[in-house]
């Protein structure tokens, strides 16, 4: 009981007994207000970045369609050409276009999208730094940028210049793993810098 009362009362420098919970309550309210303001700013910041990202995506996708005549028809023809193809090294059947070399227009459009969207990811990363996004979000965008630039190169080499369908998807899986590693490295470096400054 005495311990419980001691949590509520304390003596001042003159020996008078005062209630300590009043000051604690005020400190708690200030802390809660600060937390709410930070949460509001964080939510608003991510809403801004998400909206900008969505707008840029629609612009890039529209630009690719404008730059590539009859792209919609080419995409429909591409998916209509899908069948199952036996992979000799694995002795299994996997989905693939029956004539993958006939769809270079679709591959070129995908290559262009990958390049431009990769550049947009750099812009989004700059925006994240300007708005002081969390290290996790910056690392995520860095990984995305790496993936899209890598995709541009892989599409150019394995689909446009010479069509190697299954090799392409193998490398894409490798690129996903590499982008995750890039994200982890960025996050580790960012946290190390935070520890040095604090």
Asked if residue 25 is part of any domain, the answer here is no
Strand 82-87 relative to strand 92-97: parallel, antiparallel, unpaired?
Answer: antiparallel
Mean pLDDT rounded to a whole number for the chain: 83
Contact between 116 and 63 under an 8 Å Cβ cutoff? The reply is yes
Instruction: Give residue 28's pLDDT band: very low, low, confident or very high (50, 70, 90).
Output: very low
d(CA 198, CA 192): 10
Asked if residue 142 is part of any domain, the answer here is yes
Asked if residue 20 is part of any domain, the answer here is no
Please name the residues in contact with 127: beta carbons below 8 A apart, sequence gap of 6 or more: 49, 52
pLDDT in tens, 61-97: 999 999 999 999 999 999 999 998 887 767 788 899 9
Asked if residue 39 is part of any domain, the answer here is no
Q: List the end-to-end C-alpha distance of the chain, in Å, as a whole number.
A: 41
Asked if residue 3 is part of any domain, the answer here is no
Q: Give pLDDT, residue 191.
A: 82
Higher local confidence (pLDDT), 68 or 12 = 68
CB-based burial of residue 168 (10 Å sphere; 0-12 exposed, 13-18 middle, 19+ buried)? middle
The pTM (predicted TM-score) of the whole model is: 0.75
The pair of three-digit structure tokens given for residue 102, joined into one six-digit string:
């006939």
Asked if residue 7 is part of any domain, the answer here is no
Q: Give pLDDT, residue 27.
A: 44
The number of distinct structural domains making up the chain is: 1
Asked if residue 78 is part of any domain, the answer here is yes
Instruction: Give residue 130's pLDDT band: very low, low, confident or very high (50, 70, 90).
Output: very high
Q: Give the domain range for residue 103.
A: 45-197
What is the number of alpha carbons within 13 Å of residue 75 lying toward its C-beta? 9
- What are phi and psi for residue 96, nearest 5 degrees? -165, 155
pLDDT above 90: residue 196: no
- CA-CA-CA-CA torsion sign (156, 159, 162, 165): positive
Strand 17-19 relative to strand 9-11: parallel, antiparallel, unpaired?
Answer: antiparallel
Across 127-133, average pLDDT: 92
Q: Give pLDDT, residue 93.
A: 86
Asked if residue 16 is part of any domain, the answer here is no
Contact between 75 and 61 under an 8 Å Cβ cutoff? The reply is no
């Amino acid at each position: 009981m005495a311990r419980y009362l001691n949590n509520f009362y304390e003596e001042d420098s003159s020996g008078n007994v005062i209630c300590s919970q009043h000051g604690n309550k005020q400190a708690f309210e200030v802390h809660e207000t600060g937390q709410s303001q930070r949460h509001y700013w964080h939510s608003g910041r991510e809403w801004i970045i998400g909206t900008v990202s969505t707008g840029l995506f629609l612009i890039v996708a529209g630009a690719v369609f404008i730059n590539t005549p009859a792209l919609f028809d080419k995409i429909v023809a591409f998916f209509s050409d899908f069948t199952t193809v036996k992979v000799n090294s694995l002795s299994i059947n996997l989905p693939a276009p029956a004539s993958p070399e006939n769809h270079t227009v679709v591959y070129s459009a995908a290559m262009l999208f990958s390049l431009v969207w990769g550049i947009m990811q750099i812009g989004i990363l700059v925006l994240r730094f300007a708005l002081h996004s969390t290290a996790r979000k910056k690392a995520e965008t860095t990984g995305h940028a790496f993936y899209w630039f890598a995709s541009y190169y892989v599409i150019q080499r394995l689909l446009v210049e010479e069509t190697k369908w299954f090799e392409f998807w193998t490398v894409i899986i490798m690129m996903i793993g590499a982008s995750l590693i890039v994200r982890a490295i960025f996050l580790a470096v960012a946290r190390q810098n935070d520890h040095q400054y604090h």
